[in-house]
Amino acid sequence: MAGDASPTELSSELLEDVEDFVEANEGESTLSSERIRHVSDLMKIGNQAFRENRFEEAINCYSRANSVKPGDPVILSNRCAAYLRICQFLRHRPPSVSEYSPLSGLDSTIHAELALKDAEKVINFRCDSTKSYILKASALIMLEKYELARDVILSGLHVDPTSDPLKDLERTTVSTIGSRGHGKPERTDDFDCTVCLKLLYEPVTTPCGHTFCRSCLFQSMDRGNRCPLCRTVLFISPRTCAIRGNTKWKERNMHYSTSFSRVNLSLAEFYMLTCSFGGNGNPMLLLMYNIAWFNSFTLNNIIKKTFPEEYDERKLENESLTNPGGDFMPLFVMDVVLPCQKLHLNIFEPRYRLMVRRVMEGNRRMGMVIPDSRTGSIADFACEVEITECEPLPDGRFFLELESRRRFRVLRDWDQDGYRVAEIEWVRDISPSAGTTQREDLQEVINAAAEYAQSWMNTAREEAQQRQDRARLLELDELESMMPTTRDPELYSFWLTTLTRRRPSEKLELLRERDTNQDDCSGSPVFLINMSFVGTL
């Protein structure tokens, strides 16, 4: 992240020049005069390079001098200044330049760290020189450690309260700290999910101490119950997965109805939870879950408050997946389904587990479509189904009860995280308008059919009772429970169709029909098609 221009620029004035190495001061040195001369030569070349802005070369000379005479404050102080100047140069290089001629050397942060190391040594030798403090503070500012820089500046001002460069530095750091405190806080990777590399959304902390977005963790666990980061086996069952807005599911699974995002398990619930994971209510395990979940809750609040804009973005992103909107439909590719059917499904494929979780967080609706073997794609017509029951199984599967609602045409479809999503268009029968004789005729036919269907249903039930065929009785109950009102000719026709067994191709044809018989104005074409089957019930 680029630092604020003001503090980093200011330090350049303080580091304009380097010190000369004075041989005469080396009287007490343990080095031979020959080696001292060598150091002095290196320092002269280095300082010349520094003054001509050839900082890499200067550093090279200072480093060689340092290897002959380690720990010399002048050498270290000059090298520190050179590191800082390079760091500054890199900081102020416009991105457009670095794109065209990338630097293969070290980056500005590494230069700042090297400068800091030298500055710390210099301070040890020259704790009474303000320049040492200026160097160290400048390095810290380059590293964007403004609070630490300020402490160093204050120590320096303790040595010389009149130092103008230190006072200037103090003003800038204080204003930077102030503006950061009130402005947008710095975003570090600490709040990123290691799976999606984005800001954590509804974070979950695993017992192994790793935090992921709830959806990322479960998506990863669809492929195996291990932590995506450290591969620890996790005992977080999808039973505890957030399935919001499904009251039936909540009623039936009271102690599992808690979502990770709400995290409001009572201790008793924790106990049951750990028991169900084979933990037998082990107090340690209980505590671990408690702490982990509490942390997730706290973390979510911190993220929400600290990065409100990014959080809202992530929320929108998540909602677009769980609620794709009226014209978009996630698809379960399996079979042709007609409106007014009850279905039972076992979801075990990872991609559909993900889809079901998203569907359950949204409006609980998805499309059912048959694959088209001719095109290798999917059929052009499909039916919307609503999940009325969702039971997550301990092994991660879902057991679903579904009711089919209405048909639609697939306009286009694409892949999303492994499953299909389609842009759709709702399809309705072309029915005669209310009040017309055609409409009255249609209603009459339907009423007659309804009477017939009722008597057929009664007969079928009696037969099943005589045979004591409980499965058949259950089937009949389900069929009857899906019966729509006779006031909706289209839906009623579809329901009649569900009383008979049809080949998928026939069912698909029915989904496509809207108005097959232009000449016959007696009404719903689908209904008329069905009439020919009623006799076979």
State the residues that interact with Zn ion by CB under 5 A. 193, 195-196, 208, 210, 213, 216, 227, 229-230, 232
* DSSP category for residue 190: G
Min. distance of Cβ 186 from Zn ion in angstroms? 21
Query: Nearer to Zn ion by C-beta: 21 or 201?
Result: 201
Query: Nearer to Zn ion by C-beta: 232 or 306?
Result: 232
What Cα–Cα distance (Å) separates residue 162 from each residue in 77, 101, 154?
A: 22, 44, 12
Query: Nearer to Zn ion by C-beta: 212 or 495?
Result: 212
What are the residues whose beta carbons fall under 8 Å from the beta carbon of 382, sequence distance 6 or more? 329, 331, 336, 337, 367, 368, 369, 370, 407, 408, 410, 422, 424, 511
Residue 27 tokens read as 């009287």
* CA torsion through residues 291, 297, 300, 301, sign: negative
Residue 106 tokens read as 């070290």
Query: Nearer to Zn ion by C-beta: 300 or 498?
Result: 300
404 CB burial (10 A radius; 0-12, 13-18, 19+): buried
Residue 297 CA from chain centroid, whole number: 16
Distance CA 401, CA 396 (A): 16
Min. distance of Cβ 244 from Zn ion in angstroms? 19
Min. distance of Cβ 275 from Zn ion in angstroms? 23
Min. distance of Cβ 314 from Zn ion in angstroms? 9
Min. distance of Cβ 347 from Zn ion in angstroms? 22
> Do residues 413 and 381 make contact, with C-beta atoms less than 8 angstroms apart?
no
> Do residues 490 and 429 make contact, with C-beta atoms less than 8 angstroms apart?
yes
Report helix, strand or coil for 408. strand
Query: Nearer to Zn ion by C-beta: 79 or 214?
Result: 214
Min. distance of Cβ 381 from Zn ion in angstroms? 36
Report helix, strand or coil for 273. helix
Min. distance of Cβ 226 from Zn ion in angstroms? 8
489 CB burial (10 A radius; 0-12, 13-18, 19+): buried
Burial pattern 143-170, b for ≥16 Cβ within 10 A else e, equals: bbbbebbbebbebbbeeeeebebbebbb
Query: Nearer to Zn ion by C-beta: 117 or 351?
Result: 351
Min. distance of Cβ 215 from Zn ion in angstroms? 7
- Residue 426, beta-bridge partner list: 408
Query: Nearer to Zn ion by C-beta: 206 or 493?
Result: 206
Distance CA 195, CA 216 (A): 6
Min. distance of Cβ 162 from Zn ion in angstroms? 54
Query: Nearer to Zn ion by C-beta: 8 or 205?
Result: 205
Query: Nearer to Zn ion by C-beta: 204 or 511?
Result: 204
Min. distance of Cβ 516 from Zn ion in angstroms? 50
Query: Nearer to Zn ion by C-beta: 217 or 360?
Result: 217
Report strand pairing: 203-205 vs 371-372.
unpaired
Query: Nearer to Zn ion by C-beta: 58 or 227?
Result: 227
Q: How many helices (H) and strands (E) does the chain have?
A: 20, 10
